[in-house]
Structure 1
Amino acid sequence: MKLYYAPAACSLSPHIVLREAGLPFELVRVSTKSHKTADGGDFYAINPKGYVPVLEWDDGERLTEGPAIVQWIADQVPERQLAPPAGTRERARLQEWLNFTTSELHKQFTPLFSPAYDDSAKGIAREILSKRLAFVNQQLAGKDYLLGERFSVADAYLFTVLSWCAYVQIELTQWPTLATYQLRVAARPAVQAALEAEGLKK
């Protein structure tokens, strides 16, 4: 398998999950500015949407969209318990968190990273993010991970999105439970290995 990724982008989530799963894979770096792969190839030929992540299977077929990718990976190694079994209420809860993260957190960072948005739009995005992060902080009270005591693919995605706070001057310390959670996930060996592979370890 190949994972097309860009350092610190949302592709960090399936990168972490692949390492948690213990599956063999190859990393292919993509420039989000030039839309070229590391060898100069046209990334639009890989994914017409133009963004990472992309998981390419050995037969050449490709899967896009992080929440779909991480669930597929988890289902290949059920013994790792990275996602509850399909059809259970617990799996629905996992999907609930993946959907919340992608729509209510991930996309709210777009104005903060793009020069196309003015200060007013950025301010609105920050206000929405603050409310959403406060909600997650509340939901994590008394739990190690989003689904309870066990790490899941939803945690890989939330960790990735929370890591962007440092780039846009949002202090996680204002939400103590969330800040502690971020450190807990960061300490996992698979997470450390993914960060190192992407050149993100300080």
Structure 2
Amino acid sequence: MKLYYSNGACSLSPHIVLRESGLPFTLVRASTKTHALDDGTDYYTINPKGSVPLLELDNGERLSEGPAIVQYIADQAAGKNLAPANGTFERYRVQEWLNFITSELHKGYSPLFRPTTPEDFKPVLRELLLKKYEFVDAKLAGKQYLMGDSFTVPDAYLFTVTNWAKHVGLDLSKFANLQAFMARMSARPAVQAALEAEGLVKKAA
């Protein structure tokens, strides 16, 4: 499998899940600014959406959209318990979290990264995100991860988007449960490996 990614973008989520899965894969960087691969290939010829992540299977099939990709990966590594079995109510809980993160958190950050967003509107956007994080923080009370005491695929997505807070001036320090979750995630070997591979943290000596 090939994962098309951009350093620190939402593609970090399936990157983490791939490392958690133990499945073989290769990384291909696609710039979100130039929409080109490192070798100069026009990324739009690979993914007409121009966005990351994109997962290319060994048979040439391509899958886009992070929430779909992470579930596909989880199902290819069933023994790792990265997501509950299809058809179970708990699987729908995973999908509920993935949808919430993509629509309420991920898309909430997007305008804060846009240079065209008026500065006087950004405090409103930050306040909206803080309200969403109040909900997340409450749901994390008494839990190690979103679904309980075990890592599942929405944890990688929550970690990825929450990592953007420091880049857009969003102060999440008052959310103790969320802060504990982020520390717990950061300590996972698969997360460290993904962050190092994308140049987001220095490699351990």
TM-score normalised by L of structure 2: 0.97
d(CA) in 2 for partners of 1:130, 1:195: 25
Question: Which deviates more from structure 2 when the two are superposed, residues 116-125 or residues 144-153?
Answer: 116-125
Match of 1:146 in 2: 146
d(CA) in 2 for partners of 1:178, 1:67: 21
d(CA) in 2 for partners of 1:7, 1:129: 23
1:176 aligns to 2:176 (yes or no): yes
Cα deviation for residue 176 of structure 1 reads 1.1
Match of 1:133 in 2: 133
State the identity %.
61
Pairwise CA RMSD: 0.8
Match of 1:193 in 2: 193
d(CA) in 2 for partners of 1:198, 1:153: 19
Unaligned runs of 5+ in 2: none
3-state SS in 1 of match to 2:164: helix
d(CA) in 1 for partners of 2:88, 2:82: 14
d(CA) in 2 for partners of 1:11, 1:183: 20
Q: Deviations over 1:160-180 (max 9, x none)?
A: 010001111222211111011
d(CA) in 1 for partners of 2:35, 2:59: 23
d(CA) in 2 for partners of 1:42, 1:151: 36
- Residue type matched to 1:88 in 2? T
Task: Answer whether contact 1:84 1:91 (CA < 8 A) is retained.
Answer: yes
Match of 1:32 in 2: 32
Which has more helix, going by share of residues? 1
Task: Answer whether contact 1:111 1:121 (CA < 8 A) is retained.
Answer: no
- Residue type matched to 1:79 in 2? G
1:6 aligns to 2:40 (yes or no): no
Cα deviation for residue 120 of structure 1 reads 3.5
d(CA) in 2 for partners of 1:78, 1:121: 44
TM-score normalised by L of structure 1: 0.98
Cα deviation for residue 123 of structure 1 reads 2.2
Aligned residues: 202
Cα deviation for residue 58 of structure 1 reads 1.0
Cα deviation for residue 23 of structure 1 reads 0.5
Cα deviation for residue 67 of structure 1 reads 0.2
Match of 2:81 in 1: 81
Task: Answer whether contact 2:130 2:172 (CA < 8 A) is retained.
Answer: no
- Residue type matched to 2:6 in 1? A
